[in-house]
Each structure stands twice: as structure tokens, then as C-alpha cells.
Amino acid sequence: VDPAAAGALYDKEFIVCALDLLSGLTEGLGGGIESLVAQSNLRDLLLQCCVDEAPDVRQSALALLGDISRVSPIHLQPRLQEFLTAAAKQLTPQSVKDAVSVANNACWAIGELAIKIGKEISPVVISVVSCLVPILTTPESLNKSLIENSAITLGRLSWVCPDIVAPHMEHFMQAWCNALCMIRDDFEKEDAFHGLCAMVAANPTGAVSSLANVCQACASWNEIKSEGLHNEVSQILNGYKQMLGAAGWEQCMSTLEPAVVQRLARYGV
């Protein structure tokens, strides 16, 4: 929003309330929101709010962006790349430092968009991944929610664009797996593990030096509800067991806690 052009009408709190109301409607109506906003200029206003100078406005705008991405991504299509660029800008180290809640919502929104639009997200993948890696590798200074969202979004980007992300996996695999261990079992964690499996399939040697961390992440599940994902994880682990040979696999297992090794048995290794 341009405060000068809006004059007295520009009230930050009013805009934040309006954005939050729209988020509530989007969550409540699901796909039904499209018929309400189709003829409106919401898309253009939302994009303006995503780059507003006020952090509170950006925070609520990016939350709404994520909500719309989940139920009606088609509404964003005409200006999709602009939305992605606006969200990605909130993830630079300086932006994270200045407004962590804005960064958190931006990260979540990008992950939601990724699973809806697939390869169309490819133009921003490298810039987003390069911002997520420092978040994951220096978790001590950041809040838990941002670390979890970063791990999930990295997984979703890896799932839809494994060919782009996989060549860089050595730079973040250990820190990423450590973050995945912290996430509770749910569909977002499933998405992240689909990404892990897709990336390992694209670049198996890239995770060899982090294999113990991969094993710990796989053992962090109480139960993978999706049979397909359970089989994928099993395939990945058995593939490494074959690649390393009996002695190499035993060496890796000896670095893990007995409880972790016990949990890995459910994958047939």
C-alpha cells in the first residue's frame, strides 16, 4: 500500500484486520472463497500488502497468501512469480533478523504454493533454498516454528523440484535431518520426507556423508501412516545398506543409539 497515495485512508491496523478476516474466511470456506474474490482486485491488493513497509501488514498478507495457496492457487496464477519473489525476499538473513514472524509466514506460504503449483515454482527454488540453509544451520538463534517451517518447505521444494535441489544437498543434509527429527508426525512431515526420498533418488551419493542423520530422521517417526511413503523410506535405507555393504552399514549403525537402530528395523534394515 502506498501511504502517500492513500492519505488518511491508510490505517495499518485496519488493513491487518481486513487481511486476517479474509484469512478466516478462506479457511472456513475453502475453495468456495474463489467465487467471492474472482471479480475483486484482491490479488493486486494482496501483492501490494506482501511488499508493504509495515511488518505487521506483510505478516498478515503472507498468511493470507498461504491460505489462498492451499484452497485456490488458481486465483494467484496471473501474478504468481511476483508473489513468489515477494515472499522469497522476506527470507534473506537481514529480513529474518528484522522480522522473524514475517519470515515464518513467507516460508510457510512458499511451501504451500510449492505443492500446489509444482515445477512452476522452479524460478525461485535456488534463491529460497539458499535462504533456508542458514536458518537450518544456525537454529540456536531462531525460533522453533521458523526452523520447522524451513525444514518442511525445503522438503516440499525438494519433492517438486528434486533435480534443482539435489546437487546442493551436501550443504544442508545434516542440519535438515536434525530439524526433521523435531517435527511431529503429520501430513507436513510426510511432504518433507517425500522430498527427502526424491532428493536421495536423484543424488544418492550426496547423502552418504550424512547417512547417520538420515537414519535418525527416519527413526523419528512414531508411525508413517502413508504406506507409499513408508515403502519409499524403506527403499532408500535398503539402497544405502546395499551400497555400503555389510561392514559399512554396521559401521554406520554403530554410531547410532540402540533405540534408533531398533526403530529402523520397521523399514526392513
Predicted pLDDT at 202: 96
Question: Cα–Cα distances in Å, from 76 out to 38, 43, 201, 243?
Answer: 10, 6, 32, 44
Whole-structure pTM value: 0.91
Predicted pLDDT at 141: 73
Which grid cell sits at 155? 522438503
Q: What is the pLDDT along the chain (269 residues), one digit of tens a residue?
A: 555 555 555 689 999 999 999 999 888 988 788 877 777 888 999 999 999 999 999 999 999 999 999 998 888 988 999 999 999 999 999 999 999 999 999 999 999 999 999 999 999 999 999 999 999 998 777 789 999 999 999 999 999 999 999 999 999 999 999 999 999 999 999 999 999 999 999 999 999 999 999 999 999 999 999 999 999 999 999 999 999 999 999 999 999 999 999 999 999 99
**Neighbouring C-beta atoms of residue 58, cutoff 10 Å:** 27
Torsion of CA 260, 261, 265, 268, to 10 degrees: 120
Predicted pLDDT at 263: 96
Predicted pLDDT at 239: 96
The pair phi, psi for residue 201, each rounded to 5°, is -65, -35
Q: Is 245 left (phi over 0), alpha (psi -120 to 50) or beta?
A: left
Distance CA 230, CA 171 (A): 26
Distance CA 222, CA 236 (A): 18
Considering only CA atoms, which of 164, 221, 150, 161 is closest in space to residue 187?
221
Predicted pLDDT at 174: 96
Predicted confidence (pLDDT) per residue in 46-104, tens digit = 999 999 999 999 999 999 999 999 998 888 988 999 999 999 999 999 999 999 999 99
Predicted pLDDT at 138: 85
Helices 187-202 + 173-181 axis angle, to 10: 160
**CA diameter of the chain:** 73
Q: Is 268 left (phi over 0), alpha (psi -120 to 50) or beta?
A: left
Predicted pLDDT at 1: 52
Predicted pLDDT at 140: 76
Torsion of CA 148, 151, 155, 156, to 10 degrees: 50
Contact of 226 with 254, CB cutoff 8 Å: no
Distance CA 203, CA 170 (A): 10
- The SS3 assignment for 266 reads helix
Predicted pLDDT at 165: 97
Could you write out the DSSP letters of every residue in 175-206? HHHHHHHTSPSSHHHHHHHHHHHHHHHH-GGG
